Structure 1
Amino acid sequence: MEVTSSKYDRKTELKAFDDSKAGVKGLVDAGLAKIPRIFIHEQNKIINNHHPIGNSPSCDDSSFSTPVISLKGIVSGEEDASQRRQVIDQVRHACEKWGFFQVVDHGVPVHVLEEMIDGIRRFHEQDQVVKEEIYSRDYAKKVYYNTNFDLYQAPAANWRDTLSCVMAPRAPDLGELPSVCRDVVIDYSEKVKALGVALFELLSQALGLNPNHLKELGCAEGLVLFGHYYPTCPEPELTMGTSQHTDSSFLTVLLQDQIGGLQVLHENQWVDVTPIHGALVINLGDMSQATNLK
């Protein structure tokens, strides 16, 4: 029986879902044919655009594509002065015009990226009794798993589960990290921290500052890893895996699989970020844009 609007109790449904500790994956495993109402986004916006913002259209123009920058030699410090100036100019342009860019030759081996994706998948596809041991909304914890950090505040929930790990400046105890992906989470995090330092040096120079300026401000000290998982949805036209948002951090490094689905807003149009094997997507966060870095 369909629940009428007058009898719909959203808070009760949210709490029941949260208390199950099964996440979205649990709904799929239960053979759900229709998604709970808490996941339904405004239908007219979903139909008009996969990632709506006002009336902004999606863009299929191939001339609109996120910049791709090679960091060959940059992370290892083996580049020459001319090459570094070129990369700095590319980073400056990408930040000014897009706020996003992809990097290749970034020093994180492709096999580590692939193992990271596999490790996150292994975690989320474990038996529920294993995962629920770390299910939590206590954000003071360094390692936890849940569905939608803003589950009780957002107008509609997104169709995803997330493993969250605070890896720096103080890493969690080894025993806190899930054994099914512990080794690769540590390896990937160490390599991404090195990449972050290189990127903050480039960003500092792109601003006309000393290469160490952002590092000295402490921008490269923190690292939080979010391992999102998007199980198959029985009614994908009604919900979203990730709704429109901005990231509040100084810098976000995104690892997406080859399926794609990520879009960025550019000149009031949503542009697909085409997956490149071995590439990482860099998102200039709100803090970088809003802070007077000088």
Structure 2
Amino acid sequence: MELLSDCPVHTSVPDKYVLPPEKRPLLLNDEPSSDVAIPVIDLHRAADDRQRHLIVAEIIKACKEFGIFQVVNHGVAEDVVQGFREAAAGFFGMPAEEKLPYRSDDLSKHFRVSSSTPYDRNGDRYWLDYLKINCHPVTDEHVREWPEKPASFRSSLAEYSAAVHELAQTLLRLIAEGLGLDGGFFAGDLSGGSTQMNVNYYPPCPDPSLTLGLLPHCDRHLLTVLSQGDVAGLQARHGGGWLLVRPIPGSFVVNLGHQMEIITNGLLASVEHRAVTNTAAVRLSVVTLIMRKMECRIGPAPEMVNEATGPAKFKEFEFSEFIKAYSAAAASREDVLHYFRIHR
């Protein structure tokens, strides 16, 4: 398995990464101009009881209109974020032979490195390498599989994953409040699965018009918290087009996954997104996925089946069943939801 990061400079796009014409992106400077921007929410204000309801309302509005937003003043220290980002970049920068022991497509591993994505049913390849990490709660079993190099990798990952997990729980409490639910509604089985992390590495691409960093998809999980750094590349579907999620220093990007849409009976929508490439700079994103326990049953929450949302729109299922359907649908948003939607 060849990694893109094993070759520091790419002078052309290999044929296997060239997408069919109908799947290729427009270059960023050819995208239609738009005044629409992804909402940015200052979480520090949520600590003020007089302003908390305003922040909650902003979050729910963003969830309904976009399914994605950015947060600032979120409580995760910048040195914690940068510490792990630097360690992750250091891993991808290691010689190929030092990464070789970690190369794998075995989903049972708590740490592995691979390339492209397993979800495209046509075998198209995408311009990225990635780490898949089981990261929270931190256990000895997890840590033993994490790499010893760079030297700071294990400690910085443990610190970062704990801080982001806490942020995710805060966000889930605010979303629950905004839906009129108990603040602990999403705790327990709904968000108690092993937290997973994807660290995506996109090297400079000689011709971004020919390929994508990541295919259009919705996340399988409940909630995603993303550190995208200072290099643009994430785009979110909105109003029939693609909005660039512009990097904001010190921010996290938060987006809703399929499970949130199903639990809220469609009131909040999962957001389709993709990654585009660039010619000038490495882009590294750290994606933390908050997920349910595999054995728990999923469906619209009884509290969310009401006059506002109508009858239940989705059937109940186990999360393990959803994972199989997601893979079979090659991560296509509509194909996945069609499988679980109740058709009347």
Scaled by the length of structure 1, the TM-score of the pair is 0.82
Partners of 1:205 and 1:82 in 2: CA distance: 15
1:290 correspondence with 2:262 = yes
Aligned to 2:158: 186
Partners of 1:135 and 1:199 in 2: CA distance: 34
Equivalent residues, number: 261
Amino acid in the other structure paired with 2:3: G
Partners of 1:256 and 1:154 in 2: CA distance: 28
**Contact conserved, 2:116 with 2:129, CA < 8 A, in 1?**
yes
Aligned to 2:71: 103
1:38 correspondence with 2:16 = yes
The DSSP-based 3-state class of the residue aligned with 1:214 is: coil
Amino acid in the other structure paired with 1:283: N
State the shift of 1:87 in Å: 1.0
Aligned to 2:3: 23
Match of 1:173 among 142, 160, 168: 142
State the shift of 1:117 in Å: 2.0
State the shift of 1:244 in Å: 1.3
Match of 1:246 among 215, 218, 222: 218
Aligned to 1:61: 34
Partners of 2:123 and 2:243 in 1: CA distance: 24
Amino acid in the other structure paired with 1:197: Q
Stretches of structure 2 lacking an aligned partner (at least 5 in a row): 264-299, 304-344
Partners of 2:48 and 2:193 in 1: CA distance: 27
Aligned to 2:53: 85
Percent identity among equivalent residues? Answer: 27
**Contact conserved, 2:117 with 2:125, CA < 8 A, in 1?**
no
State the shift of 1:272 in Å: 1.0
**Contact conserved, 1:160 with 1:231, CA < 8 A, in 2?**
yes
Further displaced range: 195-204 or 220-229: 220-229
Further displaced range: 145-154 or 212-221: 145-154
Amino acid in the other structure paired with 1:202: L
Further displaced range: 94-103 or 165-174: 165-174
Amino acid in the other structure paired with 1:252: T
**Contact conserved, 1:197 with 1:220, CA < 8 A, in 2?**
no
Amino acid in the other structure paired with 1:61: S
Partners of 1:65 and 1:88 in 2: CA distance: 19
Partners of 1:144 and 1:111 in 2: CA distance: 25
Match of 1:214 among 186, 200, 204: 186
The alpha-carbon distance between structure 1 residues 98 and 105, as it changes in their structure 2 partners (threshold 3 A), is same
Amino acid in the other structure paired with 1:110: E
Report Cα offsets for 1:193-232 as digits up to 9, x if no partner. 1001101101111111000011134315431111111112
The alpha-carbon distance between structure 1 residues 173 and 261, as it changes in their structure 2 partners (threshold 3 A), is closer
**Contact conserved, 1:148 with 1:160, CA < 8 A, in 2?**
yes
Q: Please tell me the root mean square deviation across aligned C-alpha atoms, in Å.
A: 2.1
Aligned to 1:119: 87
The DSSP-based 3-state class of the residue aligned with 2:205 is: coil
Partners of 1:275 and 1:152 in 2: CA distance: 27
State the shift of 1:164 in Å: 1.2
Partners of 2:119 and 2:192 in 1: CA distance: 29
State the shift of 1:43 in Å: 2.8
The DSSP-based 3-state class of the residue aligned with 1:259 is: coil
Stretches of structure 1 lacking an aligned partner (at least 5 in a row): 1-17, 52-56
Scaled by the length of structure 2, the TM-score of the pair is 0.71
Amino acid in the other structure paired with 1:176: E
Q: Which has the higher contact order (CA 8 A, sep 6+)?
A: 1
